[in-house]
Structure 1
Amino acid sequence: MSVDHRPTLDQSWLADLRASLADDFATQTARLRELTELNADTGDPGEAHNQAALLLATRQNIEQITGALNRISDGTYGACQRCGQSIPAERLEILPHARFCVPCQEKQNR
Structure 2
Amino acid sequence: MTRRATAAPRSTSSTAGTPLPPAQQATPNDLDTAFFAGLLDERIGQAREKIAVLLADIREVTLAAKDTPADDEHDPEGSTVSVERNNEMALLAAAEESLVELLDAQVRLEDGRYGVCGNCGNPIPAERLEIRPEARFCVACAAAARRR
Hey, what does 1:104 align to over in structure 2? Answer: 141
Q: Flag the 1:11–1:60 CA change in 2: closer, same or farther, 3 A.
A: closer
Q: What TM-score does the superposition give when structure 1 sets the normalisation length?
A: 0.77
Give, as a single letter, the amino acid of the residue that structure 1 aligns with 2:114: Y
Consecutive unaligned residues in structure 1, runs of 5 or more? none
Q: Flag the 1:50–1:33 CA change in 2: closer, same or farther, 3 A.
A: closer
Q: What TM-score does the superposition give when structure 2 sets the normalisation length?
A: 0.60
Q: CA deviation at 1:39?
A: 5.7
Question: Match for 1:55 among 61, 81, 92?
Answer: 92
**Residues 53-89 of structure 1, C-alpha deviation per residue, up to 9 Å, x if partnerless?**
2111211221121111111111111011111110001
Aligned CA-pair RMSD: 2.5
More helix by share: 1
Q: Larger Cα Rg: Structure 1 or Structure 2? A: 2
Aligned length: 109
The separation in 2 between residues aligned to 1:92 and 1:101, in whole angstroms, is 9
Pairs within 5 Å for 1:43-82: 43-44=78-79, 45-82=82-119
Regions of 4+ moved over 4 Å: 2-5
Q: CA deviation at 1:18?
A: 3.8
Question: Match for 1:19 among 16, 35, 41?
Answer: 41
Hey, what does 2:126 align to over in structure 1? Answer: 89
